[in-house]
Amino acid sequence: MLKIHNNLNKQKELFTPIDPTNVRLYVCGMTVYDYCHLGHARVLVVFDVVNRYLRKVYGEKCVTYVRNITDIDDNIIKRAKENGESIPTLTQRFIDEMNVDADALGIRRPDSEPRATQHMDEIVEMIQTLVDKGSAYQGADGGDVYYDVSSFEGYGKLSGKNTEDLRSGARVEVVEAKDDPLDFVLWKMAKPEEGTSWPSPWGEGRPGWHIECSAMSTSCLGNHFDIHGGGLDLQFPHHENEIAQSEAATGEKFVNVWMHNGFVRLDEEKMSKSLGNFFTIREVLKQYDPEVVRFFILNSHYRSPLNYSDKHLDEGKAALTTLYTALRGLDINDGAEDAEFEKHFTAAMDDDFNTPKAVAALFVLACEINRERDSDPSTASKLASILKRLAGYLGLLERDPDAFLQGAQGEAAGAKGFSVDAIDALIAERLEARANKDWAGSDRIRDELAAQGIVLEDGGGGTTWRRE
């Protein structure tokens, strides 16, 4: 039975979907004005696995996964102005780049990917509802529209923050037009220099960030749905504000389960664009195979901090090499099952998507495959089939083993070294040398290949190779 840590009550609890035939998941996606960094990669990978595993548990067609795109905000307007390009041109360019990165990491496309600019009617309608209910107001200067935090009794229930403490904190923006420093903007009045706006009952303008997600999520999934996810940095104020405005507008509970993945850290400091200490996904993929990056992310529990280092990525590469080597040369049968081997993987995933323990279960399977490979090839093939299927729920081992083991590990690796044809030719030359008992010539070829990072493996079925 699947249990999920619910950040709303800070407890691990049995997951009970509202409708088991339509489990609904919403994740806060990217703000598209730059390339995605490793923090974004973690969100993409973590909730891709949640999506995959929910479909395993409830059925492929019984899950609706929505991941939004923020395509209008202050950063986007600023970057478009700096670049001298239109906002739609900028955002579409980085949506396309985001998809390139996501596809490389093996991320399945969500069922729906709403954009804020395509949901202006729903956004304006939700704000109007809040105004009509007395939960929002237009500022004293007749400008921006604000949410009245004092009107929502449960404010702070997700983050655990106290409103009085917040009012005295340094993060509160003091604006004279607000009734209360804690109130947050729902609709920003148009500024001529921004060059973009939409009509509303309060005048031309654009939405605040928080209201965009409330309008998009409820529009796509209904007023009350199962799981809302995102990075831990969004818990406050973004997700706290989403709860307040959504529940005030609809009169219903907004979300049952709140999931947040931990930060990616570099030198023990959160990796982020604002701190300028981040690596883009594109930069990392120049050095490492995308599946290695995915494995690196999944080898830590999603709620834990993830410490970035080349050492950890190199370890991920070695681990994946071990798993792919176990699959090599064996027939895969999609229908193979073995409850004893599968129960450890399932138990790990049912325990709040514990991917490190699930990965450990894959290595137990790989060891058993290697034990059976020579003595009982049919059993080894059966276990390999199970290994490949279970790994697929993590988005791993979905390639042909030789494609991984013999492929260039990242763009940088592809720029040097021997081609596959050249390697095969040298292996054939070495085999001939061995047949002629030319051991010195055989060793010379092995050393030549080793210098290029090519590892030869001699076995009963002949010589195979992989990149180091």
Residue whose C-alpha is closest to residue 330's, from 368, 363, 358, 295: 368
pLDDT tens series, the chain, 468 aa: 999 999 999 999 999 999 999 999 999 999 999 999 999 999 999 999 999 999 999 999 999 999 999 999 999 999 999 999 999 999 999 999 999 999 999 999 999 999 999 999 999 999 999 999 999 999 988 899 999 999 999 999 999 998 888 887 645 666 778 999 999 999 999 999 998 999 999 999 999 999 999 999 999 999 999 999 999 999 999 999 999 999 999 999 999 999 999 999 886 666 666 666 678 999 999 999 999 999 999 999 999 999 999 999 999 999 999 999 999 999 998 888 888 889 999 999 999 999 999 999 999 999 999 999 989 999 999 999 999 999 999 999 999 999 999 875 544 344 346 777 777 777 766 866 676 776 766 677 677 677 777 787 776 666 777 777
Domain assignment present for 289: no
Output Rg (C-alpha) for the chain, integer angstroms.
26
Residues 225 and 316 in one domain: no
Q: Provide the pLDDT for residue 413.
A: 41
Written as six digits, the tokens of 79 are 């970057």
Residues 125 and 226 in one domain: yes
Domain assignment present for 3: no
Residues 209 and 330 in one domain: no
Q: Is-contact 177 144, C-beta < 8 A?
A: yes
Residues 426 and 361 in one domain: no
Residues 377 and 426 in one domain: no
Q: Provide the pLDDT for residue 411.
A: 41
Domain assignment present for 12: no
Q: Is-contact 468 407, C-beta < 8 A?
A: no
Residues 25 and 117 in one domain: yes
Q: CB burial class (10 A; 0-12, 13-18, 19+) of residue 104? A: middle
HSE-CB of 386 using CA atoms within 13 angstroms? 24
Residues 374 and 401 in one domain: yes
Residues 400 and 435 in one domain: no
Residues 438 and 345 in one domain: no
pTM over 0.85: yes
Residues 47 and 75 in one domain: yes
Written as six digits, the tokens of 298 are 């999944």
User: How large is the angle between the packed helices 355-372 and 310-327, nearest 10 degrees?
Assistant: 40
Of 206, 237, 266, which one is at a domain's C-terminal end? 266
- Residue range of the domain that includes 81: 17-266
Q: Provide the pLDDT for residue 99.
A: 98
In 206-261, where does DSSP find H-type helix?
209-221, 240-250
Distance, CA of 66 to CA of 17 (rounded, Å): 16
Domain assignment present for 455: yes
Q: How many domains does one find in the chain?
A: 3
Residues 99 and 182 in one domain: yes
Q: Residue 116: give its domain's CATH number.
A: 3.40.50.620
Residues 371 and 449 in one domain: no
Domain assignment present for 412: no
